[in-house]
């Protein structure tokens, strides 16, 4: 199993709707590590690391709209090499 990391930026109505918490729950269920955090421009940044197939499942979930209360307009993602290894999937402030 190859381990990969991605960084993604989710744009739309994604702050104040439980997006980070839903993403944390979904990522934890998939066995991924990383974090989700709100950005100043109203987007949410997500770093996810784990098995390639599981990371792809999370990206698909993000692109499908995430939690019901969110309105995702676009998801931009790219491969990422974090400076450290994450032990869980957290929420950053």
> At how many degrees (to 10) do helices 52-63 and 19-29 cross?
150
Residue 84 is predicted with a pLDDT of: 85
Residue 88 is predicted with a pLDDT of: 97
Residue 43 is predicted with a pLDDT of: 98
pTM value is 0.95
Whether 38 is catalytic is yes
CB crowding 13-28: b at 16 or more within 10 Å, else e: ebbebbbbebbbebbe
Provide block-wise average pLDDT over 10 residues at a time, the chain (93 residues).
92 96 98 98 98 97 93 97 92 93
Q: Which residues, other chains included, contact 57 with Cβ-Cβ below 8 Å and sequence gap of 6+? A: 30
Whether 20 is catalytic is yes
Active-site option among 20, 68, 71, 92: 20
Active-site option among 25, 38, 68, 71: 38
């Amino acid at each position: 199993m190859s381990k990969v990391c991605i960084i993604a930026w989710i744009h739309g109505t994604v702050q104040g709707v439980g997006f980070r918490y839903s993403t944390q729950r979904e990522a934890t269920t998939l066995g991924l590590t990383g974090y989700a955090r709100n950005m100043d421009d109203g987007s949410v940044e997500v770093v996810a690391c784990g098995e390639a197939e599981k990371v792809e499942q999370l990206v698909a979930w993000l692109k499908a709209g995430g939690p019901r209360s969110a309105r995702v307009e676009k998801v931009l993602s790219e491969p990422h090499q974090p400076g450290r290894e994450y032990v869980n999937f957290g929420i950053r402030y």
